[in-house]
Amino acid sequence: MHELSLCRSISVIAERAAAGREVTTIHLDVGELRQVVPETLTYCWTIVREDTALADSVLCVNQIPAVIACDDCQAQTRMRGIPILVCGSCGSGHVAVVTGEEFLLRSLDVRG
């Protein structure tokens, strides 16, 4: 369960960025290709935040869809289910991932 170690890293970053202010919400962008289960991440957050300055904070996970772009026909395809790196329009394997690999602490909501 690597979500627990991810939450520990998020807590370090959030506490540093908050600079003593109370954090209410931590906004994350998580790509579908990151192999992170959003529900597990938010559950692990409840464990990591206990007895810290972030005890009352919540994670708000924005899941970013996996999208590939075809080098041959320039079409973009939303990947669903098992990731298959083939253009949905022409079937070419000459594709690049456009979105879906993100793992970004986007912003913090703070009081004070």
- The pLDDT tens digits for 13-53 are 999 999 999 999 999 999 999 999 999 999 999 999 999 99
* Residue of 84 and 46 predicted with greater confidence: 46
Q: How far apart (Å, rounded) are the C-alpha atoms in residues 75 and 69?
A: 6
What class does CATH assign to 2-111? alpha beta
Q: How far apart (Å, rounded) are the C-alpha atoms in residues 66 and 102?
A: 10
Contacts of 84 (CB under 8 A, 6+ apart): none
Cβ–Cβ < 8 Å for 25, 112: no
List the domain boundaries for the chain: 2-111
Q: What is the pTM of this model?
A: 0.88
pLDDT, mean of residues 59-65: 97
